[in-house]
Amino acid sequence: MSATRAPAPPTRSAAANRLRAGRPVPTLLRHLAVAAGAGLLVLAISYQLDSFRNFQLATVAAYLCATAGLTILTGLCGQLSLGHGALMATGAYTLALCQNAFADRGVTAGGVLVLSLGAAVLATVAVGALVGVAAARLRGPYLAGLTLAVAVVVPALTVTFDGVFNGEQGLAVPMAPAPASLGVYFPYERWQLWVVTVATLLCLVVLANLVRSRYGRAFRAVRDDEVAARLAGIHVARTQVIAFVVSAASAGLGGALLAVLAQSVSPGAFGLTLSLFLLMAVVIGGLGRLAGAVWGAVLLVALPDLTHTVTDLFTLSPAAAQRLEGNLPLAIFGCTLIVVMIAAPGGVQGLVSRLAGALPARWRRHRP
């Protein structure tokens, strides 16, 4: 991440803006505190949920990296990407290759995962920079077309170079077991949740700081009006490339975490559908706020599950069941998308903010 200088120290004015009363609380500290709180919450929850829910929560966390990255790019900087699934694939495959390389050399300690994750992020930064430089020249549907091609090409490369990537079948990802100190019967899914949560929270802290930094302001300026941004001395193309690289790095981390969870990677998991679903998730979650990315990630995991449960409520004849099985969840998902976009174009987060808007507003009025 150093290439992007992402965790830039907050400027004085940014901190001052946030200042309500008393000593200034640096943004970084504030975000770290929130992250620590969220981490503790997840820790508590992980003991309350069964293994499958732990795994689902971990999947949400992994997707969250990708949706948060996409929110930065599309919501903050105004660039459309239909290719984030491919960036996730880049991270996932890098992690798989690293873990396999370590395992082949007999290094199986759990700690090497940190190195592999770092390598995954670096590799995606490189790919993201390449695509980002091209993307900075393009607008609207042309950018969509290019990123769409990226989304199709990257998974296909695993078949072209199947000597390295093992084609459609993909690679296994050797993972160290949970530390022995946790006990023999410690559920592996809980351990997975912990690992993924730590990585995701770190990623979110970095992104949240970036949003509040001068880079974040530059992103928004470029999104709102390129000409004005240029007049204000912002290098538009460079800003867009930085946004793309940051976004790619988070997507790569998300992909790598998915590989950690699945203990395998294969191109079918990172197809065009994933890229489109990521975009749907962030838009439905609510573009422009990292909180929207959280909703998006939750939706990605929960909605298929939820619609499946709804389908199971009906008891049908075998013939009708065969027709509806699988199709009904899709129909419900499709309708939800359309209705949400028409009724609440701000997404879930927009809806939540609007609903919750009344209370804090009244509450703030009582302040001096």
Partner 1 sequence: MRPMARRGLAIATTLTLLASSVACGSDDGPGSGQPVPGVTDTEIVVGTHMPLTGPASAGYSKIAPATKAYFDYVNANGGVHGRKITYKIMDDGYNPANTQQVVRQLVLQDKVFAILNGLGTPTHTGVLDFLHSNRVPDLFVASGSRSWDQPERYPNTFGFNPDYTVEGKILAHHVQTDLPGRKVCFLGQDDDFGRDSLVGVEKVLGADAVVDRQTYVTSNTNVAPQIGAFKAAGCEVVILATVPGFTALAVGTAARLGFKPQWLVSNVGADHPTLSRQLGDAAGLLEGMIGVNYLPMQNDTADPWIQLFTKVNKEHNGDAPFDGNTVYGMAVGYLFVQVLLAAGQDLTRESLVEAVRKGGYQGPSVAPLRFSATDHSGYGGGRLSRVSGGVQGYFGPTYETDEEDGPVNEYSAPPVAPPANGVPSA
Partner 2 sequence: MDRFLFLTLDGLSRGAVYAAFALALVLIWRAGRIVNFAQGAMAVAAAYVAYSVTAATGSYWLGFVAALIAGLLLGAVVDVAVMRLVDHRSPLNPVIVALGLVLLIHAVLGMVYGNEYLPAQAPFSRTALTVGGLAVLSPYDLFVFAAVGVVGAALVWIFTRTAIGLRMRAAAFAPEVSRLLGVNVSGMLTLGWALASGVGALAGMLVIPTELGLHPHAMDLVFVSAFTAAVVGGLDSPPGAVVGGLGVGLLLSYVSGYAGGDLIPLAVLVLLLAVLLLRPGGLFAPVAARRV
Q: Does 338 bind partner 2 (CB under 8 A)?
A: yes
Interaction between residue 345 and partner 2 (CB under 8 A): yes
Residue 152 interacting with partner 2 (CB under 8 A): yes
107 binds, among partner 1, partner 2, none (CB under 5 to 8 A by kind): none
The span from the CA of 50 to the CA of 354, in Å, is 34
Cα separation of 361 and 368, whole Å? 13
Interface with partner 2 includes 142 (CB under 8 A)? yes
CB of 148 to partner 2, least distance (A): 7
Q: Which does 24 bind (CB under 5 to 8 A by kind): partner 2, partner 1, none?
A: none
- Cα separation, 101 vs 115, in Å, equals 12
Q: Taking CB within 5 to 8 Å according to partner kind, which of partner 2, partner 1, none is near residue 3?
A: none
Return all residues near 173 (Cβ < 8 A) that are at least 6 apart: 95, 96, 99, 100, 259, 260, 262, 263, 264, 265
- What, of partner 2, partner 1, none, does residue 47 touch, CB below 5 to 8 Å by kind? partner 1
Count interface residues toward partner 2 (CB under 8 A).
46
Of these partners, partner 2, partner 1, none, which one is at the site of residue 37 (CB under 5 to 8 Å by kind)?
partner 1
Q: Is 94:265 a contact under the CB 8 Å cutoff?
A: no
Asked whether the CA dihedral 301, 303, 308, 313 is positive or negative, the reply is: positive
Q: Please report the beta strands in the chain, taking only residues with DSSP state E, as ranges in sequence order.
A: 171-172, 264-265
Segment interacting with partner 2 (CB under 8 A) among 42-50, 62-70, 131-139, 359-367: 131-139
For the chain, the residue count is 368
Does 38 help bind partner 2 (rule: CB under 8 A)?
no
Q: Which pair of tokens denotes residue 68? A: 């948060």
For residues 252 and 94, the answer to whether their CB atoms sit within 8 Å is yes
- R_g (Cα) of the chain, nearest Å: 21
Centroid of chain to Cα 236: 24
**Token pair of 368 as six digits:** 């001096």
Separation of alpha carbons 352 and 338, rounded Å: 18
Q: Which of 5, 41, 137, 309 binds partner 2 (CB under 8 A)?
A: 137
Of the listed pieces 22-30, 134-142, 209-217, 245-253, which binds partner 2 according to CB under 8 A? 134-142
Backbone dihedral region for residue 21 (phi beyond 0: left; psi -120 to 50: alpha; all else: beta) = beta
From the CB of 139, what's the least distance to partner 2, in Å?
7
Residue 144 binds partner 2 (CB under 8 A):
yes
Question: Which of 16, 36, 232, 335 touches partner 2 (CB under 8 A)?
Answer: 335
Backbone phi, psi, residue 108, to 5°: -120, 10
Among positions 37, 145, 179, 357, the unique one binding partner 2 when judged by CB under 8 A: 145
Q: Does 287 bind partner 2 (CB under 8 A)?
A: yes
List the single partner that 169 binds among partner 1, partner 2, none, CB under 5 to 8 Å by kind. partner 1
- Cα four-point dihedral sign 140, 146, 147, 148: positive
Minimum distance, C-beta of residue 126 to partner 2, in the bound complex (Å): 16
- Show the site string, 67-96: x = touches partner 2 by CB under 8 A, - = not: -------x-----x----------------
- The site partner of 287 among partner 2, partner 1, none (C-beta below 5 to 8 Å per kind) is partner 2
Out of 49, 237, 337, 351, name the contact with partner 2 by CB under 8 A: 337
Angle, CA 220 vertex, CA 216 and CA 222 arms, to 5°: 115
Residues that bind partner 2 (CB under 8 A): 74, 80, 134, 137-142, 144-146, 148-150, 152-153, 156-157, 159-160, 226-227, 272, 276, 279-280, 283-284, 287, 323-324, 326-328, 330-331, 333-338, 341-342, 345
